[in-house]
Amino acid sequence: MAAGEVAVGRSVDMAALAAQADTFPKLLLKNALERGQRPASREKDLGIWQSWTWDEVLDEIRALSCGLHDLGLKRGEKLAIIGDNRPQLYWSMVAAQAIGAVPVPVYQDSVAKEMQFVLEHAETRFAVVDGQEQVDKLLEVKERCPKLEQIIYRWPRGMRHYKQPFLHSMADIQERGRAFAADNPDFFLDEIAKGKGSDIAIILYTSGTTGVPKGVVLSADNCVVTARNSVELEGLTEKEEVLAYLPMAWVGDNIFSIGQSYVAGFCVSCPESGATVMQDLREIGPSYFFAPPRVFENLLTTVMIRMEDAGWVKRKMFGFFMNLARRVGTRILDGERVAPWDRLLYALGGVLVYGPLKNTLGFSRIRLAYTAGEAIGPDIFDFFRALGLNIKQLYGSTEASVFITIQPNGEIKPDTVGVAVTGVELKIAENGEVMFRSPGVFLEYFKNPEATSETKTPDGWVHTGDAGVIGEDGHLKIIDRAKDVGKLDDGTIFAPKYIENKLKFFPAIKEAVAFGSAREFAAAMISIDLEAVGNWAERRGLAYGSYQDLAAKPEVYALIEDNVRQVNRDLADDPHLAGSQIHRFVLLHKELDPDDGELTRTRKVRRRFVGEKYDRIISALYSGADHVDIEAQVTFEDGRTGTIKADLVIRDVETAPAPAAGEAVAAVAAE
Amino acid sequence: MPKDTSANQTLLHVDNISLSFGGVRAIRDVSFEIKTGEIRAIIGPNGAGKTSMLNCINGFYHPQEGTITYRGQTRKQMRPHDAAAQGIARTFQNVALFKGMSTLDNLMTGRILKMKGSFLLEALYLGPARKQELEHRAFVEGIIDFLEIEDIRRTPVGRLPYGLQKRVELGRALAAEPTLLLLDEPMAGMNVEEKEDMSRFIIDVNEEFSTTIALIEHDMGVVMDISDRVIVLDHGEKIADGTPDQVRDNQAVIEAYLGVSHD
């Protein structure tokens, strides 16, 4: 067929398809029709932000779709996507969906073994990867993944010696696709027309705090409807600016960077590299931003360290205005009444401190920011809200296509995760577990009906595995993982995560693991934060040679002991938890690390694994010994392993007396 | 893996070079050639004359005897700026960057020989000067991308860790678009990971930009892995010259360099 016949005999009307808007490929058509000239994707390359309009993105995706089809990718087959956030990788997902294939994004920093599991389990025939690093990993596991046939790489750097016939550059595939589209002008739209909302849109493997990862199957409806509900709830428009920097294999990134972007039509920017995120953030100045608590925590730590190094005047000014902000900032943000004088001072602070600070952090234009994943420290949360940033906590899961609850504007409480979002029903099961039902509820775990039936009831309710309570105001409060909530020997409730979070809110503590279930008392393993404690040590002229050396210093032990005592005092205030105060703790000789299997890729503690690995330390904590020798295996970034030997000191901590019931009442009465 | 460059043209020919500092004879009657497109390593124990040899090649030292033929031109003496103008760039054993300037600015200084135009136009950032600046910046950004140093683009190099400074120095040498790149201990003081990165960059420079490379290195493992041919110097004399395998098995090298043989 000649190229001139392209327009003739078009069987499908693009506008009609776009109007259905029930899959991402159709939303792509819609965006191209409605805002073809507005930017859709942006990436910093060679120091310059490069943009693609929706029209251009449509063209790129069409070329990819046709190229993948020409290479043999068929409807229903799986396509692995591995790499850092890149526009081309996002396009690959929609390109696969356009021809009915299912994208399976894989965490890009997985070691080869983990990658192999997902590729094998998902039966991926094709893989689209960023570059040489990922190609190498795939070549390492390819023999054990017999289904994997074709690998497409975006970036040809370093690939000149790879002669394998199954390796293709994305540019070549797109060229094939363009030639194919010229010969088959109706193909692309015909394929999109075959797609419908109930189709599988994506399979996302959960990082799995326990056991092997599970493939969560989400339909196009799941993703599109949840995205649309959240866009309407928060009033997101095509004018939002976002930076996509969280792993593409994480459900949140999928819903934010594809879901909401395609529904609202806003542009998604990708950072230049993983290391430049903070600079890129500043240049892009997002209006809508998601970050796990850890990111906000790191930002606050950086600000505080930099302020300690600042001159006297700046330090005083910062101190004065931050105190003011803590007092009135959140109230102004929540629309409460504030004295005019304070308002005026706050405005002055905006010019002198808050504005410049927000600008440095890249937060000048933020209208809406979310945090989720774990509890955020009240200090951190208040700090950013006091600056006038509308940070809100949300609660969600992969099985829900993210959103379950969001804190509504003006109803922000540090210890809750907000109320159920549009379309979500919420209830607490008898054992205290939070359950939900929503349009975002996943179809199934891929090839794992057993796990599916364990998690999802026949009438669509999903077990979250989290223990929580719903307050009278409808706000949900999460306490811990339902299965992690245990009891001490004397019957006191022991919620390890709750204690760990309290510990981790101190800047000196990076990670903590609490033990106590079916034990006499609660004890904790703590790893210090090298940056914060290192800085603290420098200020005191305390010399140290390594992480291990620093963590073993008596001064550092004393610092942490103070923190633990503070946590004990907090726990003592709550009659239910007063019995679970920490009696003994140990400082670990290394940071907990996903490469050693101690954390998940999203940096949550793998409790059982840690318990087994550090068995010796735990027995020592409960044997009364004052130190413990250990030898632990570590995995280096290049995959090799080594062992570290250490002699760790165990410290006893005094516990605070629990207020007797009578005293507590008296105290309340006295107020 | 060493590639076969025996059929390639000779880029640089060193003929019977001898160099003395007063009574100290740093180099004695050394000859070798570097072929276009190869990675040529110069190894030897401390004080063997390796750095002196590089200094002769880029015109920093002037050997008392012998000649150097570069791209068919034989010369007895050359100044460093002549060498630079003819496409020879180098890095130093002890990093020699402008510590107070950013990575980007340091790399831009590598473009200086490619810049033309008048002082006045440059100062006012007018017309051709502006166009030229943009072209050079684009070239330098390519190097930043190549060496994966985007995140330190604006950081003063004095604040960077040593391994990264070495990388920036390589970048500045590359900014001069050299035909022959001289690297003086590019991996000294680096950890294993940094060495692996640097090895990869050196091989990539050689293969993607077809740059001929002469390097001095102490780490035998690295030398044997990445170079096509190796010259061994000891007390200023050449004691071996060949592929890594030939050199490894050479008895004189084992005795001079490694001391004892570990069979």
Q: What ipTM describes this predicted complex? A: 0.77
CA distance B212 to chain A (A): 18
Per-residue pLDDT tens digits for B184-225: 999 888 888 889 889 999 999 998 888 999 999 877 888 888
What is residue A359's predicted lDDT score, i.e. its pLDDT? 92
Strands laid side by side in the A522-528 sheet:
A509-515, A522-528, A582-587, A641-652, A627-635
> Does residue B155 carry a pLDDT above 70?
yes
CA distance A158 to chain B (A): 7
Alpha helices in A151-292 (DSSP H): 170-183, 187-194, 220-234, 251-253, 261-264, 277-284
DSSP state of A171: H
Q: Does the CB of B135 have a partner CB in chain A at under 8 Å?
A: no
Give residue A87's pLDDT band: very low, low, confident or very high (50, 70, 90). very high
CA angle B124, B127, B130 (to 5 degrees): 70
CA distance B21 to chain A (A): 42
Partner residue facing A637 (CB), from B137, B142, B193: B193
Tally C-beta pairs within 8 A across A and B.
Answer: 34
Residue of B102, B133, B144, B151 to mutate, testing the A interface (most A Cβ within 10 Å of its Cβ): B151
CA angle A319, A325, A329 (to 5 degrees): 170
Partner residue facing B138 (CB), from A46, A275, A276: A46
Buried b (16+ CB within 10 A) or exposed e, A327-349: ebbbebbeeeeeeeebeebbeeb
Per-residue pLDDT tens digits for A198-227: 999 999 998 665 568 899 999 999 999 999
Least confident of A176-180, B48-52, B110-114, B134-138: B110-114
Q: What is the 3-state secondary structure (H, E, C) of A19-56?
A: HHCCCHHHHHHHHHHHHCCCEEEEEEECCEEEEEEHHH
| Contact status, residue B27 vs residue B231, Cβ threshold 8 Å | no
What is residue A643's predicted lDDT score, i.e. its pLDDT? 81
- Contacts with A47 from chain B: Cβ below 8 Å: 137, 141, 144, 150, 153
DSSP state of A599: B
> What's the CA gap between B69 and B89, in Å, rounded?
16
Q: Do B150 and A158 touch (CB under 8 A)?
A: no
CA distance A638 to chain B (A): 8
What is residue A8's predicted lDDT score, i.e. its pLDDT? 39
Partner residue facing B204 (CB), from A158, A272, A638: A158
Residue of A44, A46, A281, A640 to mutate, testing the B interface (most B Cβ within 10 Å of its Cβ): A46
Q: Does the CB of B153 have a partner CB in chain A at under 8 Å?
A: yes
| Contact status, residue A568 vs residue A560, Cβ threshold 8 Å | no
What is residue A27's predicted lDDT score, i.e. its pLDDT? 97
CA distance B25 to chain A (A): 42
Give residue A575's pLDDT band: very low, low, confident or very high (50, 70, 90). low
CA distance B145 to chain A (A): 6
- Contacts with B196 from chain A: Cβ below 8 Å: 638
Q: Do A47 and B144 touch (CB under 8 A)?
A: yes
For A397, the token pair is 């899961």
Residue of B1, B133, B148, B150 to mutate, testing the A interface (most A Cβ within 10 Å of its Cβ): B150
- Contacts with B154 from chain A: Cβ below 8 Å: 279
Partner residue facing B151 (CB), from A45, A158, A275: A275
The distance between the two most distant Cα atoms of chain B, rounded to a whole number of Å, is 68
CA distance B231 to chain A (A): 27
Per-residue pLDDT tens digits for A408-427: 988 888 778 999 999 999 99
Q: Does the CB of B1 have a partner CB in chain A at under 8 Å?
A: no
CA dihedral B155, B161, B163, B165 (to 10 degrees): 40
> Does residue A505 carry a pLDDT above 70?
yes
Mean pLDDT of all residues belonging to chain A: 88
**Strand bridging mode A402-406 / A462-470:** unpaired
For B200, the token pair is 């990869």
Q: Which positions 181-200 of B are in contact with A (Cβ < 8 Å)?
A: 192-193, 196, 200
> Does residue A97 carry a pLDDT above 60?
yes
- Contacts with B200 from chain A: Cβ below 8 Å: 158
Least confident of A88-102, A547-561, A632-646, B67-81: A632-646
CA distance B161 to chain A (A): 15
Long-range Cβ contact pairs of A566-570 (< 8 A, separation 24 or more):
A566/A506, A567/A499, A567/A502, A567/A503, A568/A653, A568/A654, A568/A655, A568/A656, A569/A656, A570/A502
Would you mind telling me the total number of residues written for chain A in this entry?
A: 671
Backbone angles phi, psi at A129, to 5 degrees: -130, 165
| Contact status, residue A237 vs residue A266, Cβ threshold 8 Å | yes
Q: Which residue of B has its CA nearest to A157?
A: B146
Q: Which positions 208-227 of B are in contact with A (Cβ < 8 Å)?
A: 208
Partner residue facing A638 (CB), from B138, B151, B193: B193
The dihedral of CA A362, A367, A372, A375: what is its sign? positive
**Strand bridging mode B73-75 / A641-652:** unpaired
CA distance A46 to chain B (A): 5
What is residue B206's predicted lDDT score, i.e. its pLDDT? 92
> Which residues fall within 8 angstroms of residue A493, CB to CB, at 6 or more apart?
A485, A487, A576, A577, A579, A580
CA distance A602 to chain B (A): 23
> What's the CA gap between A606 and A208, in Å, rounded?
9
For residues A298-310, give the mean pLDDT.
86
Mean pLDDT of all residues belonging to chain B: 87
> Does residue A630 carry a pLDDT above 80?
yes
Q: Do B151 and A45 touch (CB under 8 A)?
A: no
> What's the CA gap between A245 and A257, in Å, rounded?
10
| Contact status, residue A134 vs residue A140, Cβ threshold 8 Å | no
> Does residue A456 carry a pLDDT above 60?
yes
Topology of the domain comprising B1-87+180-263: Rossmann fold (3.40.50)
Q: Do A46 and B141 touch (CB under 8 A)?
A: yes
Share of chain A above pLDDT 70, in %: 95
DSSP state of A555: H
Q: Do B204 and A46 touch (CB under 8 A)?
A: no
Least confident of A122-136, A300-314, A346-360: A300-314
Q: Which residue of B has its CA nearest to A636?
A: B193
Q: Which of B197, B189, B249, B240 is nearest to B219 (CA)?
A: B189
| Contact status, residue A550 vs residue A587, Cβ threshold 8 Å | no
> Does residue A390 carry a pLDDT above 70?
yes
What is the pTM assigned to this prediction?
0.80
Partner residue facing A273 (CB), from B137, B138, B150: B150
> What's the CA gap between A27 and A93, in Å, rounded?
13
Q: Do B151 and A279 touch (CB under 8 A)?
A: yes
Pick the more confident residue, A232 or A592.
Answer: A232
What is residue A204's predicted lDDT score, i.e. its pLDDT? 96
Give residue A463's pLDDT band: very low, low, confident or very high (50, 70, 90). very high
**Strand bridging mode A215-219 / B88-91:** unpaired
Share of chain A above pLDDT 90, in %: 59
- Contacts with A44 from chain B: Cβ below 8 Å: 150
Q: Does the CB of B82 have a partner CB in chain A at under 8 Å?
A: no
Q: Which residue of A has its CA nearest to B154?
A: A279
Q: Which of A331, A244, A226, A317 is nearest to A40 (CA)?
A: A244
> Does residue A9 carry a pLDDT above 60?
no
> For chain B, which residues make up each domain, given as ranges?
1-87+180-263, 98-177
CA distance B126 to chain A (A): 22
> Which residues fall within 8 angstroms of residue A118, CB to CB, at 6 or more apart?
A80, A104, A106, A110, A205, A213, A215
Q: Which residue of B has its CA nearest to A158?
A: B204
Q: Do A47 and B153 touch (CB under 8 A)?
A: yes
